[in-house]
Structure 1
Amino acid sequence: MAHLLELFDSLRLAMFSGKGGVGKTTLACAFARHWAKRFPEEQVLLLSTDPAHSLGDILQIPVHGEAESLADLPNLKVQALDAKALLQDFKTRYGSVLELLVERGSFVEGSDLAPVWELAWPGLDELMGILEIQRLLNDHLVDRVVIDMAPSGHTLSLLGLREFLDNFLKALTLFQEKHRVISRTFSKNYQTDEADTFLKEMKAELEAGWQLLEDPNFTGCLVVANPEPMSWLETERFIAALEKLHIPCAGLFLNRILTDDSDGDRLSEQAELVEKFVHLSQDLLLVPQFSREPLGGEALDVALQSVFTEMPKAPEKLTVQWPEQYGPGFSDFIEEKRRLILVGGKGGVGKTTAAAAIAYQMSQRHPESKILVISIDPAHSLGDAFGCTLGHDPVHLAPNLEAQEIDTDRVLEDFKRDYLWELADMMAGDDPDSTMSIAYGPEAWRMIVTQALPGIDEMLSLLTVIEYLEQEEVDLVILDTAPTGHLLRFLEMPAALGDWLAWIFKLWMKYQHVLGRTEFMGRLRTLRQRVMQAQKRLKDPKHTEFIGVFQAQAAIMAETERLEAAMAEKGVSQRYLVWNRYKPGQQAHFPKQILVRLGPLPRTISALARVAGAADLLFESSASSPRTPEKDRFSTPSR
């Protein structure tokens, strides 16, 4: 109903986010069209900050890095953020002054810094995303902006960049203050220069942008969720995190609501979960499950007009029914001596359930082997899949199975201690006995390296996995990865980190007579060797295998095709694709992979029972009926 959407008329910036796969992009596209029709005299921009966006798949048009108007709505422009292009624009505008500031705060010459712009930056998508949002807000280039954000974990990384950018500017200010002190030493009068102007203007622009992002009359995060347990748990955490960041949550769209009694099991679970969602947001809008996926402008317009607020009644409790087992299934990864299994795909397709099920089955079949399943998604849900609380330290779920959710803050602290503090001191390049050095040099560089730049998740997760594989104490590691775009970034980390270390080595070779630190450079060389070895292992089909997960939806299947091509280009082995929520009669064409089909799992059972059932259904030669946890050696810690 259109009047329900009037709640958001006062907003100028609407950010759609939530757990992967809940329908963020569909609703963002529909909402942008709604605004363009409701405010025909205003210019509306629909922008995606997701590196693996699907705007084009939903709108059924090509979408590029340049904003282009829709044919039927000329006042609505659509754009996919191109982080690399934005970085080049940023370099053109600010590159010379940034190089000047860093030169003033370190031992390097400006020419030494030029290669940095060509390196792969951790967190480039988030960094360029927030800077582009800031630019749009400050320059008033459009009247209203709708942003299709990345899944919740990476949305929080983007919105959490305030501290990083503030501290980065403080560090640059210290570099400039050092220059001022030196200048005044030789000349009583100091003349402000382009660096002073840059620092003043950038600080003012960022502050103005943050004020708008925190203004509930201007900005609203519209959270999208599904009536499913894992979506509920992640949404609860996400809204709490938004509150800590002072980002206003304007409302909650609960998508794919079943309105008939065709699936009593699902309807029963849905009724229980909707009651929980009601307590999260006063402005709760329900979006029905459509028989056909809304694709293209006309279907999207109809979809958004179908929102409602009154919940369907729940049926009587029904008997649990499991889907049948469809062949073929997975082979035995332990018998094949695989060491690393990567499970990935578009957000919300069932990656975590598949990863948990693989770990479960391998631990059951091989009690003599040690299995470790790790979540490297910043919005962890591995614990939700097992029905228990997980953290950074591995938790025993069975005598031979451990699970953990990487805490990048913990890993970053270790990385700082082992490498970054000394790297900061080295980059400062000052005499440690000098008063000026203590006041301006290492302090500023430590402010820079202490920041957890988004994207460092992938690098630090890689180092953690390397350690487990090197120790030879684990027979099989299963990674529950972040959604597609950030999974690809994880796979690019070995080459990216290797390039950064190579640049540092080049600097050291040039200035080693000043720097010394031979032992430290030896440790960095060892780190680079380990990273390069990890890259070889990722491309060794006898060692590593990628398993994609997808569902029978147009946007998901299109992204799965792109992911398959990307994996082939990166040389990562992919034998299997899991077709989750498969229903007989559905068709998919992936001739290079074995399709392992998994039907819809029962809803009104425990999380662990669902994982156990999925484990049996996914593998060859499993029991004819799913086991229950009570028959196994499994015991999960309570929440």
Structure 2
Amino acid sequence: MPSFTFVIGKGGVGKTTVAASLALHTANTHPRAKTLLLSTDPAHSLADVLETKLGDTPKKLKAKGALYARELDASAAVEEFLAAQREGILRILESGSLFTRDEIAPLLDSALPGMAEVAALLAIHDLLESDYDEVIVDTAPMGHTLRLFELPAHLERFLHLLEVSAGRDAVLAAHFGGSVSENQYVARWQEMVRKVAQSLDHEHARLLLVTSSEKFSLNEAIRAREQLQRAPVPMEIAEIVLNRAVTAVSGCKRCTTAAKKTVAARRFLAKEFKRVPLRTGEDPGSPIAGVDALTAFGKHVFEGRALRLKQSKPVREKALDIEEAQWPVLNTPLTLTLGKGGVGKTTISAAMAFHARAKNAKEAVCICSIDPAPSLDDVFQTEVTNQLAPVLDDAKLFAAEIDAVGEYQRWAEEMRARVEDATSTEVRGVHLDLSFERDLFLAILDVVPPGVDELFATFRILDLVERGGRVQIDMAPTGHALEVLRTPARLLGWARVLLKTLAHHRTLPLARDAAVEIATVSQRVRELSTTLSDSKRSQVWVVMLAEPLPDRETRRLLCDLQELKAPVAGVFVNRVLMDETHCPRCSRAQAWQRQTLAKMKDGAFPVFVVPEMPEEIAGARGLQRFTKSLWRLQ
């Protein structure tokens, strides 16, 4: 069995860079070992960092040792698994429910939410039988990585559901004579889950946490540790990399401030993560990409050497052609903010909501984060929960952070009571014993399904839009945000299949009740789907940084949004260095920013430039200062 290292952390802290440099360092120091660098982030950037083309098939890199890289194709992995296991799933569900094989089969053909995490576990299982010695996983942003680690426990409960279904044959055989063979499918899947769970335990897997000196990133590191400790199988962080650190200064005010933050972050991490090794990754002020640069960065981080890069700086662009602008207003009922992790989506979302209240004192504004690892409480400097509540002493500015698992569990409790009532009934005077169906439904409700974040995010957006006023949604990072936008269409597809299936069983009260509820939800989801493609009812803002790697991911995101017919209103380019500087590090960073912005002049959408602020944005005063300055690219 290979050893696994999971590189985890808040979006934007440099997980992919650290994961790639660790893989190269591992291959350099253990040239006879076979190493795989695997990206499980739905919005891959591993190929960008390595400066090579990658796909779902491992590709040997031109580097010392036997190092391979792969970007997981989640859809293909799940489709391959379902195709291979289709017969077993259909046989078990048909034997343990009212539904026939023909009724169940279309559900397996429907697109499912939450497949990124399932695909990652399938990939891990396949790798257990591979000849790799080391597997280094570049994970999705924190919230969905935590879902990944919790998934084996949920799958064990799902297999209990299949056991319940298969048990129907055994009981019928006992009643009417005959025998039933042991269900080999369930046994095989249980063994798969057991092996994957074992590969994730502390003896076989290491967690390397990447963080930065930003307060929001450090706060999320603490929250992640607490969630990992509360997981079904508790996990511990084995190593920390404080990335994008500034340690040397040369009279530059910006770098001096950054260096002070680095010192404070080291003290904070040393105090909070006692006995956990702490490494540092210096910020050179320019992208770290390509095998040579990543190899040098790996030696710097994991051997403590001085960072020696061939510093490149693009051809210096002329001063930006920009003009001062006003912050955009929320001129549609629904506004969504998307972007790569760590670009400042939450800050921009909070600023837009804050600005909307300042411009219209009569209209209420609701801001809700649907990121599984939210940080609205950091921006508003108060506890933000699953329930809408006023923030910043403003009775008409409401905030909430969705607790998808909690909402699912509350819904499941309501459904349990209804299932208990509905599965002991009479039809035309004949008593039907639906104990098998009851056990089946109750077993389903015990499972927190993959995709729970996308499903309940959709329902929360529905609720908020129907509530009225202006609604600002702080989305999850790119890959999972796109999944949320695809969920309404998928739900409508599922609803059609389910209603057709339930029609065959309309004599049963449970089937009738379920059909009524599905039809009601379907109508609401259809309305949301229409809203999400109507520029008069919704708008999408994309947030990015003026750096080469985020720029490439943003371009892919904009293409995806156009395919989804989402009404993109414009792009915010955050943390731009506006003033001229003589500092070598800041000068390099500014040159890369200007080159990135120069490429955006002729884009299809308005581009707004947000200056970098000297301190992190939090509280009413911080948001007020933040929304006073904005520029538009000409």
| TM-score, length of structure 1 as denominator length | 0.87
1:192 partner amino acid:
S
1:598 partner amino acid:
V
Structure 1 residue 441: Cα displacement = 2.7
More deviation in 512-521 or 246-255?
512-521
Determine if contact 1:390/1:403 at 8 Å carries over to the other structure: yes
The separation in 1 between residues aligned to 2:282 and 2:426, in whole angstroms, is 63
The DSSP-based 3-state class of the residue aligned with 1:581 is strand
Determine if contact 1:601/1:610 at 8 Å carries over to the other structure: no
The separation in 2 between residues aligned to 1:427 and 1:516, in whole angstroms, is 7
Determine if contact 1:269/1:603 at 8 Å carries over to the other structure: no
Cα deviations by residue, 1:527-576 (Å, 9 ceiling, x for unpaired): 10110000111111111111111112222111100111111111111121
For residue 221 of structure 1, the aligned residue among 178, 200, 207 is 207
Please name the residue that 2:556 is paired with: 562
Please name the residue that 2:532 is paired with: 538
1:58 partner amino acid:
V
Please name the residue that 2:152 is paired with: 162
- In the superposition, relative to structure 1, how do residues 223 and 433 fare at CA in structure 2: closer, same or farther (>3 Å)? farther
- In the superposition, relative to structure 1, how do residues 325 and 358 fare at CA in structure 2: closer, same or farther (>3 Å)? farther
Determine if contact 1:16/1:224 at 8 Å carries over to the other structure: yes
Cα deviations by residue, 1:135-155 (Å, 9 ceiling, x for unpaired): 322x14421101011011000
The separation in 2 between residues aligned to 1:376 and 1:600, in whole angstroms, is 26
Determine if contact 1:224/1:252 at 8 Å carries over to the other structure: yes
The separation in 2 between residues aligned to 1:427 and 1:145, in whole angstroms, is 48
Percent sequence identity is: 26
Structure 1 residue 37: Cα displacement = 2.0
1:13 matched to 2:4? The reply is yes
The DSSP-based 3-state class of the residue aligned with 1:224 is strand
- In the superposition, relative to structure 1, how do residues 181 and 265 fare at CA in structure 2: closer, same or farther (>3 Å)? same
Determine if contact 2:97/2:440 at 8 Å carries over to the other structure: no
1:231 matched to 2:221? The reply is no
Please name the residue that 2:120 is paired with: 129
Structure 1 residue 111: Cα displacement = 2.1
1:149 partner amino acid:
T
Structure 1 residue 422: Cα displacement = 5.3
Please name the residue that 1:116 is paired with: 107
Please name the residue that 2:181 is paired with: 192
- In the superposition, relative to structure 1, how do residues 11 and 114 fare at CA in structure 2: closer, same or farther (>3 Å)? closer
Please name the residue that 2:246 is paired with: 258
The separation in 1 between residues aligned to 2:296 and 2:464, in whole angstroms, is 51
The DSSP-based 3-state class of the residue aligned with 2:385 is coil
1:47 partner amino acid:
L
The separation in 2 between residues aligned to 1:392 and 1:212, in whole angstroms, is 33
- In the superposition, relative to structure 1, how do residues 112 and 308 fare at CA in structure 2: closer, same or farther (>3 Å)? closer
More deviation in 393-402 or 556-565?
393-402
1:165 partner amino acid:
L
Please name the residue that 2:588 is paired with: none
Structure 1 residue 258: Cα displacement = 0.6
The separation in 2 between residues aligned to 1:617 and 1:457, in whole angstroms, is 34
Cα deviations by residue, 1:8-32 (Å, 9 ceiling, x for unpaired): xx98110011100100011111111
1:572 matched to 2:566? The reply is yes
Please name the residue that 1:449 is paired with: 445
The DSSP-based 3-state class of the residue aligned with 1:396 is strand
Please name the residue that 2:625 is paired with: 613
Structure 1 residue 354: Cα displacement = 0.4
The DSSP-based 3-state class of the residue aligned with 1:602 is coil
Structure 1 residue 73: Cα displacement = 4.7
Determine if contact 1:371/1:402 at 8 Å carries over to the other structure: yes
1:361 matched to 2:374? The reply is no
1:499 matched to 2:499? The reply is no
Structure 1 residue 427: Cα displacement = 10
- Within a 5 Å distance, the mapping from 1:338-377 to structure 2 comes to 338-377=332-371
The separation in 1 between residues aligned to 2:29 and 2:10, in whole angstroms, is 28
Determine if contact 1:15/1:221 at 8 Å carries over to the other structure: yes
The DSSP-based 3-state class of the residue aligned with 2:272 is coil
Please name the residue that 1:278 is paired with: 270
Cα deviations by residue, 1:241-290 (Å, 9 ceiling, x for unpaired): 22223223210111000122232222223322221111233211111001
Please name the residue that 1:602 is paired with: 614
- Within a 5 Å distance, the mapping from 1:303-322 to structure 2 comes to 303-307=297-301
Cα deviations by residue, 1:406-452 (Å, 9 ceiling, x for unpaired): 111332245436668758998999999989743x4322322223422
Please name the residue that 2:401 is paired with: 405
The separation in 2 between residues aligned to 1:619 and 1:404, in whole angstroms, is 29
Cα deviations by residue, 1:391-411 (Å, 9 ceiling, x for unpaired): 011121212211111111332
1:302 matched to 2:296? The reply is yes
- In the superposition, relative to structure 1, how do residues 516 and 463 fare at CA in structure 2: closer, same or farther (>3 Å)? closer
2:475 partner amino acid:
T
2:144 partner amino acid:
H
The separation in 1 between residues aligned to 2:168 and 2:271, in whole angstroms, is 53
The separation in 2 between residues aligned to 1:421 and 1:116, in whole angstroms, is 25
The separation in 2 between residues aligned to 1:128 and 1:424, in whole angstroms, is 34
1:237 partner amino acid:
R
Cα deviations by residue, 1:179-214 (Å, 9 ceiling, x for unpaired): 1111232324x2425xx1122222223223212311
Please name the residue that 1:636 is paired with: none
The separation in 2 between residues aligned to 1:601 and 1:227, in whole angstroms, is 15
Structure 1 residue 519: Cα displacement = 4.4
Structure 1 residue 471: Cα displacement = 2.7
The separation in 1 between residues aligned to 2:479 and 2:160, in whole angstroms, is 31
2:402 partner amino acid:
I
Determine if contact 1:56/1:63 at 8 Å carries over to the other structure: yes
Please name the residue that 1:327 is paired with: 323
- In the superposition, relative to structure 1, how do residues 25 and 564 fare at CA in structure 2: closer, same or farther (>3 Å)? same
Please name the residue that 2:455 is paired with: 459
- Within a 5 Å distance, the mapping from 1:50-65 to structure 2 comes to 50-65=41-56
The DSSP-based 3-state class of the residue aligned with 1:115 is helix
The separation in 1 between residues aligned to 2:326 and 2:338, in whole angstroms, is 16
2:283 partner amino acid:
Q
For residue 84 of structure 1, the aligned residue among 51, 67, 75 is 75
- In the superposition, relative to structure 1, how do residues 517 and 459 fare at CA in structure 2: closer, same or farther (>3 Å)? same
For residue 32 of structure 2, the aligned residue among 41, 46, 51 is 41
Determine if contact 1:43/1:143 at 8 Å carries over to the other structure: yes
- In the superposition, relative to structure 1, how do residues 145 and 551 fare at CA in structure 2: closer, same or farther (>3 Å)? same
Structure 1 residue 93: Cα displacement = 2.3
Structure 1 residue 325: Cα displacement = 13
Please name the residue that 1:243 is paired with: 229
Determine if contact 1:424/1:449 at 8 Å carries over to the other structure: no
More deviation in 196-205 or 414-423?
414-423
Structure 1 residue 523: Cα displacement = 2.7
1:230 partner amino acid:
F
- In the superposition, relative to structure 1, how do residues 15 and 310 fare at CA in structure 2: closer, same or farther (>3 Å)? closer
2:622 partner amino acid:
R
The DSSP-based 3-state class of the residue aligned with 2:37 is strand
Structure 1 residue 229: Cα displacement = 0.3
The DSSP-based 3-state class of the residue aligned with 2:68 is strand
Determine if contact 1:105/1:428 at 8 Å carries over to the other structure: no
Determine if contact 2:78/2:118 at 8 Å carries over to the other structure: no
The separation in 1 between residues aligned to 2:423 and 2:110, in whole angstroms, is 18
The separation in 2 between residues aligned to 1:19 and 1:424, in whole angstroms, is 42
Determine if contact 1:266/1:604 at 8 Å carries over to the other structure: no
The separation in 2 between residues aligned to 1:525 and 1:68, in whole angstroms, is 47
- In the superposition, relative to structure 1, how do residues 39 and 365 fare at CA in structure 2: closer, same or farther (>3 Å)? same
Determine if contact 1:107/1:427 at 8 Å carries over to the other structure: no
The separation in 1 between residues aligned to 2:553 and 2:422, in whole angstroms, is 43
1:69 matched to 2:79? The reply is no
Please name the residue that 1:183 is paired with: 173
The separation in 1 between residues aligned to 2:437 and 2:613, in whole angstroms, is 58
For residue 379 of structure 2, the aligned residue among 373, 385, 393 is 385
